[in-house]
Structure 1
């Protein structure tokens, strides 16, 4: 709710979230109405909350609905009773993680009898609005995380020691920057100097220490990206390079604060080395592979579960799309991408057996 209020204060009219953030109950959202966030508004205008349909989104991104016929069959008559379908997926799924699926996505948009609208347009079509509370959740949320009450497990898992080190370093960096006596107190000046493309503009009246603090704040802003925690989860994604980058940027922000003590600098460096050495140890001992394999199996069970049940003719159509794409990219000497398409074809062909 706190994030929702921030979005409303910034002028946003709606936000989109995970279906499970509504009561933590799969299937509880009613797609014949809109929802507004309880007690969150701006100038009397409530903030609308859209919930993406979880299972339908999974089926699209996994290729289970890779043709217009499959998509239409899955929809059935649900759009005839005043309901709508709202899906949301990462854009890189189409063509990057799932080579060839970008063309299938276009085909889905062109399904006969289905009117595609933007979310803002949807708000004009549906007038019934229900007020609701929202619960912490992300698109990556899995039911097993709910049972442990850790909705942000890929970013802050109490069982993940790297996460603990990362957040200790994050808190240290934020407090060090914020508690500096050279912090720019004037919000207007601060916002202007942080947002300007020319970093020298707006700094003419600042002292040397204030300018240095401003650079520390810029470094901190860049360092507070969620990638470093996500890639440290090994659920199933892992990148020690991204983990190291985040730790290095946070440590750099601490070092830049003009009045930082040597003890704080030393603590930041110690946390940096704990993060990196633990990451290397995870790789050396095989823990990364173990965690990734376990999680990858669960993800594939969720996203690919329906593929073996698809009609053979629909699988053939999906494979034909991919073969055509593979030949095209191979002709353009994009051999790595052609190899990805080949692997996906083999994967789909295995479901025909």
Structure 2
């Protein structure tokens, strides 16, 4: 069986140095060492530019050099993305293009000629078809998405494929197997043979595409780094990068992927909620966050002079997905995390000289106070806990985060 494994590694721009270094030791270096010992092993890798910079400034240049060396050996295929992990369908197209350009510039700086992405990873696999022309302008050839984009009910899910997929936009698409990918977020896989038995019957020419956070290997999910290593070594496995799959696809199918993410559930898609963890109807916290975002965007982007560079960078960072994710309570919840991320909008506005007297600044400050008050109320009253509990009640797999069971 052909296995094309996609790994996504990222830390938010406000991540603490100690945590980034801890995850680098537990996961990123572990991935490097697994590949270095096995020349036949290959992965397709997204590393967002903000993490690349964090590793460089936190004493992890040897790690970046090791990733570059593996790319030189053909064991890693880098892809493009958004530097600060913004949810691209939810921000203006100019901002999406800016995030992609910043990501390319950063990774090209550190990986040089070995960063030559053909593929693209939209953060959280959040997709809508209006992104296609943006990606084509950058020269991307393919996009990796979750299978729900073409199988909205997740019915008759087949973990194995023999096809490549083409879109009317001229882009090609790869769709990950959600079930097989999500196994790497759990602790249920006991061996390589057990993993292969879980994904079902397969033939020599069949293709399995998985995609998941690289932090699941060593940091989040107990022992899954060891399981990953064992699966690579299984005699029935032949690993290819995503771009290499084009030469083994037995046929091509035309598709038009629907708006979705790798966290969307069938009931979300049916209700027209493609990005539930970042913009859920009735979630007042997220509504306030997006109001702050829109106000800050309009205000800061008017200031194009170079002396406002600090404000522009803070705004770029503020667009990261994390604060909305931590405000979802489905099941991810963290008051300090959602405030820390949203506060970057506040800092971006404050970085504009004489901004404090403007209507935009006053509105952002007023909304931030409201956000903090409401978030702490959700926490103390148990409202967030109830939303989280209700969400987990319908989860079929027991997941891990930071080495602990999500509950």
Task: State yes or no: 1:289 paired with 2:385.
Answer: yes
1:28, distance to aligned residue in structure 2 (A): 6.5
Shift of 1:283: 1.0
CA contact (8 A) 2:192 2:234 kept: yes
Residues 238-260 of structure 1 show CA distances to partners (whole Å, capped at 9, x for unaligned) of 11122111221101212233475
Structure of higher RCO (CA pairs closer than 8 Å, 6+ residues apart): 2
In 2, Cα distance between the equivalents of 1:125 and 1:107? 24
2:300 counterpart residue number: 177
Query: What does 1:303-342 correspond to in 2, within 5 Å?
Result: 303-304=397-398
How many residue pairs end up in the alignment?
A: 274
Distance in 2, Cα, partners of 1:117 & 1:296: 35
Structure 1 length as normaliser, TM-score?
A: 0.71
What residue number does 2:178 align with? 54
The alignment yields a C-alpha RMSD, in angstroms, of 2.6
1:122-167 CA deviation, whole Å, 9 max, x = no partner? 1221152222111111111112212321111110012100000000
- Residue deviations 1:69-128, cap 9 Å, x none? 223334554224x43111111111222221222101111122221212111211221152
> Could you tell me the TM-score, scaled by structure 2's length?
0.62
- Name the SS for the 1:144 alignment partner: helix
Distance 1:132 1:259 in 2: 51
* Cα distance between partner residues in 2 of 1:280 and 1:235: 17
The structure richer in strand per residue is: 2
Aligned equivalents of 1:151, 1:292: Cα separation in 2: 19
CA distance in 2, matches of 1:75, 1:248: 43
- 1:176·1:257 contact (CA, 8 Å) conserved in 2? no
Distance 2:289 2:252 in 1: 41
**Cα distance in structure 2, aligned partners of 1:17 and 1:222:** 24
Residue of structure 2 equivalent to 1:272: 368
The equivalences for 1:240-251 within 5 A come to: 240-251=335-346
Greater helix fraction, Structure 1 or Structure 2? 1
Q: Give unmatched runs, 5+ long, in structure 2.
A: 1-128
3-state SS, counterpart of residue 219 of structure 1: helix
Q: Partners of 1:220 and 1:23 in 2: how far apart? A: 35
